[in-house]
Amino acid sequence: MNDTILEVKDLSVTFTQYERGFSRRTIHAVEKMDLEIKSGEIVAVVGSSGSGKSLLAHAIMGILPYNSEMDGEIRFLGEPLTEKKVKRLRGHEIVLVPQSVSYLDPLMKIGDQIQNGKKDVSVKEKCLAVLKRYGLAPDIRRKYPFQLSGGMTRRVLISTAVMEKPKLVIADEPTPGLHLEAATRVMGHFREMADDGAGVLLITHDLELALLTADRVIVLYGGRVVEETDAAAFQDERNLKHPYTKALFRSMPKNWKKDGEQLCDMGEILEDMRKEYGR
């Protein structure tokens, strides 16, 4: 059985900018990215702001901005994921837990959003079961997005995503604004989805949180993969190869030196990176 859910090969995303006069500039926002996710696996994608994380997610979902150009190959369950195909699978077999809570319609009740407008008894029952699973009370269905706390909104976004037992879950920064306990619980929900057979792509700034649950970690910088490793490698810095990954390792609070001495000069590493990657 082929248990590979997603394969991304040589993915590039570029933007063309027109500057004053007639000069044109191409921005290589994602460059020759490769990755693979298997059933049952959580792959964390980490990297600083602007490293191409959301574009990777949007390329897979088929929702890149109109002014971008994509190159490379994306395969889902062994078959090319064409524009037509992803449109059909989106919201069912392939789901996005979006970065922005503005994906919820402010004028639509939560229940209608989770049920995608469907009123059948079976869909309603499914909705109630999913709400229960994520610790939300049934009466949340009658509320509007503005009536929810940040943590509840995140759980609603996840509930919406899992209504149809997805095979691929892409979560783009699912935990900002959540306190540690709530964020840890969200990580647990992704683990459950993976245990149900899904492949999970978890995009985050928060490496420490990702390491609670991820199986593998892909580190991005400037639109490129600089390192890919088992999550377990992060137990010891010596397992990590790239200076940027080492810097991320050292920036995790648990690895701070007790006497306050800085273990590395992050500024120096970033300066080297800028030289190497041109940004």
Ligand X SMILES: Nc1ncnc2c1ncn2[C@@H]1O[C@H](COP(=O)(O)OP(=O)(O)OP(=O)(O)O)[C@@H](O)[C@H]1O
Smallest gap, in angstroms, from Cβ of residue 19 to ligand X? 13
Contacts 24+ apart (CB under 8 A), 241-250: 243/269, 243/272, 243/273, 244/219, 244/269, 244/273, 245/219, 248/46, 248/207, 248/219, 249/207
3-state secondary structure of 63: coil
Considering only 33-41, 46-54, 86-94, 251-259, which stretch makes contact with ligand X by CB under 6 A? 46-54
- Does 54 participate in binding Ni ion (rule CB under 5 A)? yes
- Does 127 participate in binding ligand X (rule CB under 6 A)? no
Smallest gap, in angstroms, from Cβ of residue 53 to Ni ion? 5
- Does 177 participate in binding ligand X (rule CB under 6 A)? no
- Does 204 participate in binding ligand X (rule CB under 6 A)? no
Considering only 12-20, 45-53, 72-80, 184-192, which stretch makes contact with Ni ion by CB under 5 A? 45-53
**For every residue of 90-131, which 3-state class applies, written as one string?**
ECCCEEEECCCHHHCCCCCCHHHHHCCCCCCHHHHHHHHHHH
Q: Which of 3, 9, 10, 27 binds ligand X (CB under 6 A)?
A: 27
CA distance 68 to 259: 48
- Does 199 participate in binding ligand X (rule CB under 6 A)? no
CA distance 203 to 207: 10
Q: Which of 23, 49, 102, 122 binds ligand X (CB under 6 A)?
A: 49
- Does 204 participate in binding Ni ion (rule CB under 5 A)? no
Smallest gap, in angstroms, from Cβ of residue 273 to Ni ion? 19
Nearer to ligand X, 39 or 54 (CB): 54
Nearer to Ni ion, 114 or 219 (CB): 219
| Angle, CA 235 vertex, CA 231 and CA 241 arms, to 5° | 75
Q: Which of 4, 14, 40, 50 binds ligand X (CB under 6 A)?
A: 50
Question: Tokens for 39?
Answer: 């059933």
| Contact indicator for 224, 11 with CB cutoff of 8 Å | no
Per CB under 5 A, residues contacting Ni ion are 53-54
